[in-house]
Amino acid sequence: MKYPTTPDGRYFVHKDRLWRCTNPNLDEATRRRLVGELMAARRDVGTAKRAGDDAALADARGKVHAAKVALGKRGPMWWDNDTDDNRYLIKNTPYADWWSSPDDSSA
């Protein structure tokens, strides 16, 4: 599923909330490797939950976080700016006018 992306390409919108996009400066091979690591770590989270293994769950969640930081979805921003609107409701961000405009072509 393709979600609307802010005009500057920093965020995508899902359920009226901004989510940070992957760093577009990553080369394709690196991006694919990191996405693979993220998906494997997410599967490990599910396995650990079903097994009731708290240590494995903590380890898997750490791997999810590390992959997201490497992809640019968490941690330091991949653009030059001092604000991060990740996970904010779009109506509470500088993107509110863009989102509410009827001529939005990216939605």
pLDDT digits (tens, 9 = 90+) for 10-58: 999 999 999 999 999 999 999 999 999 999 999 999 999 999 999 999 9
Which residue, chain included where needed, has tokens 């509470």? 92
pLDDT confidence bin for 95, thresholds 50/70/90: very high
pTM of the model: 0.85
Taking CA atoms, 77 is separated from 25, 53, 71, in Å, by 12, 33, 10
As a whole number, mean pLDDT of residues 96-104 equals 84
Mean pLDDT of 71-92: 93
Handedness of CA 97, 102, 104, 107 (dihedral sign): positive
Distance CA 68, CA 84 (A): 15
Of residues 60, 13, 19, the one with CA closest to residue 5 = 13
Paired tokens of 37 = 């690591």
Please list the residues that pair with 19 across neighbouring strands: 12
